[in-house]
Chain A
Amino acid sequence: MIVQVENPVLEVHDLTVSYDKNPVLWNVDFSIPKGKLVGIIGPNGAGKSTMLKSVMGLVDKQSGYVKVFNKDLDEVREQISYVPQRESVDWDFPASVLDVVLMGRYGRRGLFKRITKEDKAIAMASLEKVNMQDYAKRQIAQLSGGQQQRVFIARSLAQQANLYLMDEPFAGVDASAESSILNLLQEMRAEEKTIMVVHHDLQSAYEYFDWVILLNMRLVASGPKEEVFTPELLQETYGGKLTLLDSLSNFIRQKEFPIKG
């Protein structure tokens, strides 16, 4: 069940990715319409984060291509923003909340250039959107998990992009932070932004998203949630691992054969 769309914001075509010679995504092929909240759902090790990373060009593709707004990534960098997993960085880094949010402006500012007053104003406005303006001067190590997540989202907002890829923004945050993040994402959607979110909780997924991608090493389904949330497709996504594929990749890893060239 894969619904392809006209004039997609994001088109992933026949994408295969492997990590340490171990294939984690096989021939993934889907497209995403504009202005939707998109959930990427699947069990642990399904390749959800890897897919976001390969869209952003952070991991090498073995085959396939990605088009954003019908262009190559490098032509439209400024329109796409990535929020990595919160645990992927060391929060004891000597930086204030504002310092981190300002990083969202580095791409536009370019090499050697200093941060301007305008950048600071944008960063502060982004902090206000996640309701963290009072924490601007706070050292990042002092933040709670939910606050750290909101700082990451503010940093991404400071990029003023049109397509957002967020890796597990709801992981390890408390209920009130979760609902405030969800509100923010809905506001962004109202402004015609497209947001793709890696999500681990099947329970809340139906409520949160408009469009759902079911992933388990391969693409199981992609489409409006009403069409995708069927017992058969969920069973296909979560019901047991693809054991043969798994042992095959194990074997490949041990022998260190390259797969697909």
Chain B
Amino acid sequence: MRELLEFLSLSNANVRYVVLGVMLLGASTAVVGTFTFLRKKSLVGDAVAHSVLPGICLAFIFSQVRHPLVLLSGAFISGWLSILSIDFITKQSRIKADAAIAIVLTVFFGVGIMLLSYIQSTGNAAQSGIDHFLFGQAAALVGNDVIMLAIVCAVLVVVVWLLFKEFSILSFDADYAQSLGLPVRSIEFVLSTLTVIAIAVGIQAVGVVLMAAMLITPAAAARYWTNRLSVMLLLAAMFGALSGFFGSYISYSAPKMPTGPWVIIAVTFIAFISMTFAPERGFFFKWLSKKRKVNTTMDENILKIFFHLGEKEGDALTSRKIAQLQARRYFEESKMQASLKRLCRDGKVEEDEHGWKLTKVGVIESKRIAKLHRLWEMYMSKFLKIPADHVHEGAESLEHFFTPELEEMLEQELDFPETDPHDKPIPYTKTSVS
């Protein structure tokens, strides 16, 4: 607990550096990664992340220093080489993109691991930092690293801000962008370069193996909450920063633990929450609206029973027992009870000593359902040429999906017929109620 408080207060200068650095990094890679995600290039991002390893190792072998700028340059070069290799293989051979990505990723990473073992075998004292690049070690960041990190991240964000409209049109419709005369190749080049830089700076904290998740997962999570690209970028940045914060805390409190996996767990947790609870797109929301649909369908069916009984006896407002309703169309008693209670709450039915009866509102609603059913039957027999004795089932399922606009279209298309294919009258509410 004391440890957590000390961490949160950021009183320790080094902690402050690390936390700030990793949060910045999480935010800026997520911003750049949003475009990688939208361009469906996630796997290329993964390949680049793995492919920076040989560059880092070579830079270290030749310079024998662990200066961040030197390592970053190495990472940048081998990252770009991997993109070029994937492009080359896809364009010049019959190997498809997915296979090209797999080949390039493994070759580069394999060479990287070879070089890493070589560095370890030479027992160079400064090498201790190098193997952190595999899974990341945020706590190993020092003041110098963080300053460079901050500058690079700021550059990334500013470039994205400046080229926001170019990046978005490139991601949505590259052919059209080119037809406008925009320099699509150059924009693409800048975007790929930003991606490689984001990866190259990120690996210190997250590691090459897991870096792709920092690029892609915040964007994937953010997509659930919004339909606007600008909001999506902000959310992705926030999610990235939040996971960075969590990861650096772990790295601080358990120094033996690599940071990468913990950052990934944090960001994946955010993605999981988004997939589950986001409005409209989330599982929970979908489940809820499905359940609601099942309920309204049931309620509309009950209203229709009232209508049919009323139509037969010529009185829409008679009270009826549940057994009477079941005799017309059977549903389980518990389901009917629940549905009647919902309808009662909505003011469509009311209970009296003889059972349940429709209210004025309920009568209108019940007529509407019956009307839709019969109009839809009419439509199917008239336009789809389905025989009259086969139209009921279709109408039964589709009558519950009508919006007011569709309802109007249906009425106009059929020109307000008087009867359905079974010669039953169609109860128009506007004329019959008022």
How distant is B82 from chain A, measured CB to nearest CB, in Å?
24
How distant is A52 from chain B, measured CB to nearest CB, in Å?
10
Whether A74 is near chain B, meaning CB under 8 Å from some CB there, is yes
How distant is B285 from chain A, measured CB to nearest CB, in Å?
16
Known: A106-B177, A111-B166. A93 touches B228 (CB 8 A): no
The closest CB in chain A to the CB of B169 belongs to: A103
A103, B173: Cβ atoms under 8 Å?
yes
Whether B126 is near chain A, meaning CB under 8 Å from some CB there, is no
**Chain A residues, CB < 8 A from B165:** 106, 109, 114-115
Name the segment of B104-112, B178-186, B356-364 touching the other chain: B178-186
Known: A57-B178, A58-B178. A106 touches B169 (CB 8 A): yes
**Chain B residues, CB < 8 A from A133:** none
Instruction: Give the dominant DSSP class at B's interface.
Output: helix
**CA–CA, A58 to B176, complex, Å?**
9
* Chain A contacts with B in 98-139, Cβ cutoff 8 A: 99-100, 103-104, 106-107, 109, 111-112, 114-115, 139
Task: Return the contact of B179 from the options A56, A96, A99 (Cβ within 8 A).
Answer: A56
How distant is A90 from chain B, measured CB to nearest CB, in Å?
8
How distant is B316 from chain A, measured CB to nearest CB, in Å?
37
**Chain B residues, CB < 8 A from A57:** 178-179
Whether A77 is near chain B, meaning CB under 8 Å from some CB there, is yes
Interface residues of A, CB < 8 Å — how many? 32
A139, B227: Cβ atoms under 8 Å?
yes
**Chain A residues, CB < 8 A from B163:** 111-112
Whether B297 is near chain A, meaning CB under 8 Å from some CB there, is no
B228, A77: Cβ atoms under 8 Å?
no
Whether B168 is near chain A, meaning CB under 8 Å from some CB there, is yes
**CA–CA, A112 to B160, complex, Å?**
10
* Chain B contacts with A in 122-172, Cβ cutoff 8 A: 162-163, 165-166, 168-169, 171-172
**Chain B residues, CB < 8 A from A114:** 165
A106, B228: Cβ atoms under 8 Å?
no
**CA–CA, A104 to B226, complex, Å?**
23
B162, A94: Cβ atoms under 8 Å?
no
Whether B220 is near chain A, meaning CB under 8 Å from some CB there, is no
* Chain A contacts with B in 76-102, Cβ cutoff 8 A: 77-78, 81-82, 84, 88-90, 93-96, 99-100
Whether A148 is near chain B, meaning CB under 8 Å from some CB there, is no
A107, B166: Cβ atoms under 8 Å?
no
A100, B181: Cβ atoms under 8 Å?
no
**Chain B residues, CB < 8 A from A107:** 180-182
Whether A194 is near chain B, meaning CB under 8 Å from some CB there, is no
Whether A159 is near chain B, meaning CB under 8 Å from some CB there, is yes
B182, A106: Cβ atoms under 8 Å?
yes
The closest CB in chain B to the CB of A89 belongs to: B173
Known: A107-B180, A112-B163, A115-B165. A58 touches B228 (CB 8 A): no
Known: A88-B173, A94-B223, A106-B169. A99 touches B180 (CB 8 A): no
Task: Return the contact of B175 from the options A53, A93, A106 (Cβ within 8 A).
Answer: A53
* Chain B contacts with A in 214-242, Cβ cutoff 8 A: 223, 226-229, 232
* Chain B contacts with A in 3-51, Cβ cutoff 8 A: 38, 40
**CA–CA, A93 to B227, complex, Å?**
8
**CA–CA, A215 to B40, complex, Å?**
34
Known: A77-B181, A106-B165, A159-B180. A95 touches B172 (CB 8 A): yes
**Chain A residues, CB < 8 A from B227:** 94-96, 139, 141
**CA–CA, A80 to B361, complex, Å?**
58
A58, B166: Cβ atoms under 8 Å?
no
B176, A94: Cβ atoms under 8 Å?
no
How distant is A37 from chain B, measured CB to nearest CB, in Å?
20
A112, B229: Cβ atoms under 8 Å?
no
* Chain A contacts with B in 129-156, Cβ cutoff 8 A: 139, 141, 155
B176, A84: Cβ atoms under 8 Å?
yes
A84, B175: Cβ atoms under 8 Å?
yes
5 nearest A-B pairs in the assembled complex, by CB-CB distance: A107-B180, A82-B179, A77-B181, A139-B227, A56-B179
| 21 residue pairs A–B, Cβ–Cβ below 8 Å | A74-B181, A77-B180, A77-B181, A78-B181, A82-B176, A84-B176, A89-B172, A89-B173, A94-B38, A94-B228, A94-B232, A95-B172, A95-B227, A95-B228, A96-B227, A103-B176, A106-B182, A109-B165, A112-B162, A114-B165, A155-B176
Beyond the given pairs A103-B180, A155-B176, 8 more chain A to chain B contacts, judged by CB atoms under 8 angstroms and listed by A's residue number, are A56-B178, A82-B175, A93-B229, A99-B229, A103-B169, A106-B166, A109-B165, A111-B163
